[in-house]
């Protein structure tokens, strides 16, 4: 089992949106960074843990615990000319971008980015490295355990 941090803008898809979705599951689409795509395509498996992270908002942070709910498949938005994620170079025969399904597992205390930066056990976390902007990044088991414990302290 692996662990991941996956960023979503809450105006587009929030953790509460995932909790409200059928089977608490959504397609993770719109990733347009090759390294993040490669993590999804080559390293993610159904059952992997996900820290659902709200980004590009007033208070970015970990909004909940989720899991990867499917293997990788072509991101349909790359083929949709009306989508902001359309990629004219992608074809059905040779898709460039990948989606996975993500299922909400539990909510709890919201952990802001500023709080995460104060936790010594997280100092090497990819998210907290200067210049890190990846929308999908690996999380170590120790980082996962630290964050899940803190989320569960304030379980809703």
| Structural domain boundaries enclosing 120 | 3-153
The count of domains in the chain is: 1
pLDDT, average across residues 41-60: 98
CATH code for the domain of 101: 3.10.590.10
CB-based contact 136:4 (threshold 8 Å): yes
Strands 73-74 and 61-68: unpaired
pLDDT, average across residues 29-43: 96
pLDDT, average across residues 5-28: 97
Give φ, ψ of 9 to 5 degrees. -80, 120
Give φ, ψ of 148 to 5 degrees. -60, -40
Q: State the pTM of this model.
A: 0.95
Q: In this predicted model, what pLDDT tens digit does every residue of 68-116 receive, in sequence order?
A: 999 999 999 999 999 999 999 999 999 999 999 999 999 999 999 999 9
**Across the chain, which distance is largest between two alpha carbons, in Å?**
47
Write the Ramachandran bin of 88: left for phi over 0, alpha for psi from -120 to 50, otherwise beta.
Answer: alpha
pLDDT band at 131 (very low <50, low <70, confident <90, very high): confident
Nearest-10 Cα torsion for 8, 12, 14, 17? -140
């Amino acid at each position: 089992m692996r662990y991941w941090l996956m960023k979503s803008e809450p105006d587009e898809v929030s953790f509460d949106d995932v909790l409200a979705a059928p089977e608490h599951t959504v397609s993770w689409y719109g990733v347009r960074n090759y390294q993040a795509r490669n993590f999804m395509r080559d390293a993610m498996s159904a059952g992997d843990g996900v820290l659902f992270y709200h980004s590009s908002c007033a208070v970015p942070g970990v909004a909940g615990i989720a899991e990867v709910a499917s293997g990788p498949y072509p991101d349909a938005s790359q083929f949709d000319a009306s989508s902001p994620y359309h990629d004219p170079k992608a074809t059905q025969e040779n898709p460039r971008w990948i989606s996975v399904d993500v299922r909400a597992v539990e909510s709890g205390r919201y952990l802001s980015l500023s709080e995460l930066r104060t936790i010594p056990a997280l100092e090497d976390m990819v998210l907290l490295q200067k210049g890190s902007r990846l929308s999908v990044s690996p999380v170590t088991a120790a980082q996962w355990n630290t964050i899940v414990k803190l989320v569960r302290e304030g379980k809703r």
